[in-house]
Amino acid sequence: MDLSFTPEQEAFREEVRAWVKSAMPPHLAAKAEVDGNFSMPEIMEWHKILYQKGWVAPHWPEAVGGPGWDAAKRFIFTEELEKAGTPQLSPFGLVMVGPLIIQFGTDAQKERFLPKILSGEEVWCQGYSEPNAGSDLASLRTTAEDAGDHFVVNGQKTWTTYAQYADWIFCLVRTNQEVKKQAGISFLLIDLKAEGVTVKPMLTSGHTPAFCDTYFDNVKVPKENVVGKVDQGWTMAKALLGHERTMIAAVGQSTREIGHVKRIAKKTLKDGRPLLEDDVFRAKIAKLEIELEALKMANFRALAGAQLGHAPGPESSILKLRGSEILQRTQELAMEAMGQNALTWFNEDGVVPQNEEPVPSTFNYTRATTIYGGSNEIQKNIIAKMILGLPQPGKSK
């Protein structure tokens, strides 16, 4: 297993790095420089720049509008975007439902949805979690009743990220009450403009309107909007979550965030000296960098497998588990470095302590990384069962 990059791959890295530097508009580059928060219009602006370049969907095959890159190029491209601090594109269309439609969708579904996902003309969100079905996703209660040529959907989804900006939502819905809970679920595409859909944003503790509650009241959905077969949505849901968990490893993002911590520590004084010169604080950074290197090697092993054509397996749970924990700890160190200034959110007069406005908000937002994509407690169970072969609680081996 070769974990090093070839000269050709390193040349591609330099190409991506140079293009990003030249392609980012000044107002986006200025925010990226200070690790600022990007608005949805800014995210979609960057989406369309990548689309024009042909790089908006690095993991899509050429036949459906992607660049046709191998796993190594996809990894390099994603890592360079993260390191540059570019706006993070909404993953729900490009990374989640798009690839699922490519794999399981009908020709009509591919023709209808894929081009508009690529161009950014239609924005997507995810309808998985419910008030009483989060990590135990198979306990979902949103129903889709057969009404001849369509389904009638009733229920509620929660944590539907940025649903207020979305045009479509992909949902797991219960289509069969008579079988075991995993077997009676279907994967359904729902137009958020349909009659009976209500989206209610909620304000997070980090002062961002990131999440929404989404309600369905007798919403009519055509049967041709089922992806795959009726009652077999659980298989697709697991495949989709595997890709999401690999994405949450966020090695490039954590690398940049550690650099951000160092920047803050350079201008924060402790006993008259920069905090970055404090041995205890430097040791905390070093420990985190060592753990990030270990995660990077695990990511490279997954990449080597992908180069051989292996789909993400249970090892994606390791990447999700450690990646989310490390990302959270980068924010904890940033908060520690800011000291009492970290207690200030967005000041009414517009004055931002130490020019680090996003830190407290990002700290709060990243509390969710150990929950979404399947909580880390669930990931530990998957690792224990699928990798270590340990019996599950209450079950004999």
C-alpha span between 370 and 323 (Å, rounded):
9
CA atoms within 13 A on the CB side of 383: 16
Higher pLDDT, 5 or 26: 26
Residue 351's pLDDT band, with cuts at 50, 70 and 90, is very low
Query: Per the structure block, which two tokens stand in for 336?
Result: 């520690």
Contact between 319 and 246 under an 8 Å Cβ cutoff? The reply is yes
At residue 346, does pLDDT exceed 60?
A: no
The answer to whether 373 touches 248, Cβ cutoff 8 Å, is yes
pLDDT attached to residue 392: 66
| CB 260 within 8 Å of CB 334 | yes
3-state secondary structure 135-168: CCHHHCCCEEEECCCEEEEEEEEECCCCHHHCCE
CA-based nearest residue to 334, from 258, 269, 274: 258
* Residue 381 reports pLDDT greater than 80: yes
28 vs 379: which has the higher pLDDT: 28
Phi/psi zone of residue 353: left (φ > 0), alpha (ψ -120 to 50 degrees), beta?
Answer: beta
Residue with tokens 């749970």: 317
Q: Average pLDDT in the 72-86 region?
A: 90
Q: What is the pLDDT of residues 113-129, one digit of tens each?
A: 999 999 999 999 999 99
* DSSP-H helix ranges across 231-386: 233-247, 251-267, 279-307, 315-338, 358-365, 376-382
Q: Which of 218-222, 340-344, 383-387 has the lowest mean pLDDT?
A: 340-344
Weakest mean pLDDT among 57-66, 186-195, 235-244: 235-244
Average pLDDT for residues 318-337, to the nearest whole number?
A: 93
Helix (H), strand (E) at residue 76: helix 71-84
Average pLDDT, the chain: 88
Instruction: Provide the pairing of β-strand 168-174 with 150-158.
Output: unpaired
CA distance 56 to 263: 30
Identify the three-state secondary structure at position 132: coil
pLDDT of residue 397: 47
Cβ neighbours around 211 below 10 Å, total: 21
Catalytic residues: 244
Bridge partners of 125, per DSSP, are 169
Residue with the bigger pLDDT between 353 and 298: it is 298
3-state secondary structure of 28: helix
**Alpha-carbon gap, residue 361 to 204, rounded angstroms:** 9
Q: Is the dihedral of CA 338, 340, 341, 342 positive or negative?
A: positive
Contact present, 86 and 78 (Cβ < 8 Å): no
CB under 8 Å to 2, separation ≥6 — which residues? Answer: 304
Mean per-residue pLDDT, 20-42: 91
Q: What domains, with CATH codes, occur in the chain?
A: 7-89 (1.10.540.10), 124-233 (2.40.110.10), 248-387 (1.20.140.10)
Helix (H), strand (E) counts: the chain: 13, 10
CB of 169 within 8 A of CB of 214?
yes
Give the predicted TM-score (pTM) of the model: 0.85
CB-CB contact of 66 with 50 (8 Å): no
Scan for tokens 């055509």, then name that residue. Answer: 222
